[in-house]
């Protein structure tokens, strides 16, 4: 049970003022020690001058953090250093420097930071937050398992195609009426991870599974609590298997499902582009068979559109946080061990020097003479040794679900409704919930 500090402190004070004073001093000392991180002789990257203890906290404009941050990048360039809430961190912008930290120095910035909770250092398990030997063992095992279960083989593709058929049926049941596609898409996407990790899929009407999907958020809280701590040397045990399964579930469901929800929204907002994709699907595949991964090569416009959804959706704007494991230098500046690293993927995905129309949805960004063109400034899955573990799976899911859906439906705004690109910030940047109509293309 959590008691608010405001009620605990006065009652402690009444009972034992001296002990409480000592306790408070101890807490302050620990805090001061923890925050005393800036070493005067080092050449830190530029950044706003911070205040002791609270750092740049008071310089943040909380009503409009975006503007403050834009000012920081403008004033201090492609790398700035700041400290907020006891953490020193650097924000790195621009492809050359991002490659420097995530690829060239991937052994330096390989770890995830530990976060102190209840003054304990949270011992992290699983895949996303683990480090060192444990992370290496579990990542290798997870990748091997994904491959054994058919990643990059026909079996997994079959599974996604089968799930796409269930998804199409579920959407057909909406009979072209306005509906929020969140639930069906989430269920379809999580079923892919479920069939890999648990060996079976769940029906869209399964109430237990609905409950599970609803409690995913609570799971995030549980994962972050120090009660999950234990002492592991050899990381293969039942508990860690549960952590890793949960991590695959957490990392693999919301991300892919959010991207697909952006995709449907962009289709309804850009009917001409949707029409071009459908024309390509009709001429290459037709209606008599389901799209396969092999079709990706011969559907360049559709493939480009999927990439463009990811570029515009930009669902993980500052990447997943890393930490410097040793003292290092970036762009000539000293970056001490323990500094947190964020990389600005938004800046990359909206760079006016890289993209013809950076703020507008435009599949041409990924096309050259009608052929698909890879772009270096496109890193939604990050890069380097700790790159997204599910990239290949996510790409297969996005392409197949998207193509199968557009083969069968036209997505459009409900009558007299204006759809918007309003977003919500949670684990990912996702579209604000919306209603859409899925008009069947053939009866
Ligand atoms: C559109 C879908 C997805 C996007 C945009 C995405 C993006 C990312 C990003 C940016 C990272 C951080 C990488 C880094 O620190 O450099 C990451 C990590 C991760 N992703 Fe994904 N991801 C997606 C789908 C998936 C799927 C389907 C799975 C499940 C198999 C998955 C599993 C993971 C795991 C386990 C990690 C942690 C890897 C590690 O720390 O070693 N992701 N993802
Ligand atoms: C990331 O880059 C974008 C585009 O340059 C900028 O608007 C934004 O403020 C940057 N974010 C941070 C946190 O530096």
Model confidence over 157-184: pLDDT tens digits? 999 999 999 999 999 999 999 999 998 9
Structural domains in the chain? 132-440 (1.10.630.10)
Tokens of residue 419, six digits? 């759809």
* DSSP 3-state of 64: coil
Number of the ligand closest to the Cα of 314: 1
| Sequence-ordered list of residues with C-beta below 8 angstroms from that of 72, at least 6 positions apart, any chain | 47, 48, 80, 82, 91
Atom of ligand 2 nearest to the CA of 72: 14
Atom of ligand 2 nearest to the CA of 318: 13
What's residue 442's pLDDT?
Answer: 75
| C-alpha span between 189 and 302 (Å, rounded) | 20
| Sequence-ordered list of residues with C-beta below 8 angstroms from that of 383, at least 6 positions apart, any chain | 98, 99, 102, 103
Asked if the model's pLDDT at residue 228 lies above 50, the reply is no
Query: Between helices 207-214 and 182-197, what is the axis angle to 10°?
Result: 100
Asked if the model's pLDDT at residue 156 lies above 80, the reply is yes
What's residue 221's pLDDT?
Answer: 39
Under the banding of pLDDT at 50, 70 and 90, the label for residue 301 is very high
Q: Which segments of 93-132 are extended strands (E)?
A: 116-117, 120-121
Best residue for ligand 1 mutational test, from 112, 142, 251 (most atoms within 8 Å of Cβ): 251
Q: Among 255, 317, 428, which residue's Cα sits nearest to residue 69?
A: 317
Tokens of residue 142, six digits? 């997870």
pLDDT digits (tens, 9 = 90+) for 42-87: 888 887 665 444 555 555 555 555 556 667 666 667 898 887 666 7
Ligand 2 in contact with 246 (CB < 6 A)? no
Asked if the model's pLDDT at residue 428 lies above 60, the reply is yes
- Residue, of 26 and 250, whose pLDDT is higher: 250
Asked if the model's pLDDT at residue 369 lies above 80, the reply is yes
| Sequence-ordered list of residues with C-beta below 8 angstroms from that of 66, at least 6 positions apart, any chain | none
- Given the structure tokens 């003022």, which residue do they identify? 17
Ligand 2 in contact with 73 (CB < 6 A)? yes
- Given the structure tokens 């039942």, which residue do they identify? 238
For residue 330, count CB atoms less than 10 angstroms from its CB and return exposed for 0-12, middle for 13-18, buried for 19 or more: buried
Atom of ligand 2 nearest to the CA of 73: 14
Q: Among 197, 192, 242, which residue's Cα sits nearest to residue 222?
A: 242
What's residue 117's pLDDT?
Answer: 42
Mean of the per-residue pLDDT values of the chain:
83
Under the banding of pLDDT at 50, 70 and 90, the label for residue 94 is very high
Asked if the model's pLDDT at residue 4 lies above 60, the reply is no
Asked if the model's pLDDT at residue 231 lies above 60, the reply is no
What's residue 119's pLDDT?
Answer: 33
Number of the ligand closest to the Cα of 90: 2
Parallel, antiparallel, or unpaired for β 340-343 and 87-92? parallel
Under the banding of pLDDT at 50, 70 and 90, the label for residue 224 is very low
Report CA(367)–ligand 2 centroid distance (Å).
26
User: Are 324 and 336 within 8 A, CB to CB?
Assistant: yes
For residue 125, count CB atoms less than 10 angstroms from its CB and return exposed for 0-12, middle for 13-18, buried for 19 or more: buried
Tokens of residue 107, six digits? 């052994």
Asked if the model's pLDDT at residue 98 lies above 70, the reply is yes
What's residue 227's pLDDT?
Answer: 39
Please tell me the least confidently modeled range out of 147-161, 256-270, 285-299, 381-395.
147-161
Give whole-number Cα distances, 67 to 55, 73, 122, 396, in Å: 18, 10, 33, 37
Report CA(130)–ligand 1 centroid distance (Å).
14
């Amino acid at each position: 049970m959590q008691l608010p500090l405001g009620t605990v402190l006065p009652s402690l004070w009444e009972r034992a003022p001296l002990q409480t004073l000592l306790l408070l001093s101890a807490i302050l000392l620990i805090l001061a020690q923890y925050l005393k991180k800036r070493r005067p002789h080092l050449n830190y990257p530029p950044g706003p001058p911070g205040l002791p203890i609270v750092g740049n906290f008071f310089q943040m404009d909380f009503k409009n953090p975006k503007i403050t941050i834009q000012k920081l990048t403008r004033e201090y360039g492609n790398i700035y250093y700041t400290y907020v809430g006891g953490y020193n961190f650097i924000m790195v912008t621009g492809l050359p420097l991002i490659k420097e930290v995530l690829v060239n120095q991937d052994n330096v910035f390989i770890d995830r930071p530990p976060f102190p909770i209840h003054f304990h250092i949270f011992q992290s398990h699983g895949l996303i937050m683990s480090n060192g030997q444990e992370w290496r063992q579990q990542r290798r095992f997870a990748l091997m398992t994904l491959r054994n279960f058919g990643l990059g083989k026909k079996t997994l593709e079959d599974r996604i195609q089968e799930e796409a058929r269930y998804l199409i049926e579920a959407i057909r049941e909406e009979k072209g009426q306005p509906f929020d596609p969140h639930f069906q898409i989430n269920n379809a996407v999580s079923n892919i991870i479920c069939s890999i990790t648990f060996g079976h899929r769940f029906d869209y009407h399964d109430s237990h599974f609905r409950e599970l999907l609803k409690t995913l958020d609570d799971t995030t809280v549980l994962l972050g609590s120090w009660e999950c701590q234990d002492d592991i040397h050899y990381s293969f045990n039942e508990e860690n298997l549960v952590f890793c399964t949960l991590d695959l579930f957490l990392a693999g469901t919301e991300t892919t499902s959010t991207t697909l929800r952006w995709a449907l929204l962009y289709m309804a907002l850009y009917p001409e582009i949707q029409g071009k994709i459908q024309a390509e699907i009709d001429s290459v595949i037709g209606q008599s068979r389901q799209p396969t991964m092999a079709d990706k090569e011969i559907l360049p416009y559709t493939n480009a559109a999927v990439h463009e959804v990811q570029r515009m959706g930009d669902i993980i704007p500052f990447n997943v946080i890393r930490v410097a494991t040793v003292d290092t230098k970036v762009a000539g500046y000293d970056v001490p061990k323990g500094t947190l690293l964020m990389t600005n993927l938004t800046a990359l995905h909206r760079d006016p020097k890289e993209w013809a129309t950076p703020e507008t949805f435009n599949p041409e960004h990924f096309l050259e003479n009608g052929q698909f063109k890879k772009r270096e400034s496109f890193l939604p899955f990050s890069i380097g040794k700790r790159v997204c573990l599910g990239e290949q799976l996510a790409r297969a899911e996005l392409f197949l679900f998207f193509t199968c859906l557009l083969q069968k439906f036209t997505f459009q705004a409900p009558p007299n409704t204006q759809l918007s690109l309003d977003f919500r910030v949670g684990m990912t940047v996702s579209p604000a919930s919306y209603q859409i109509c899925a008009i069947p293309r053939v009866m």
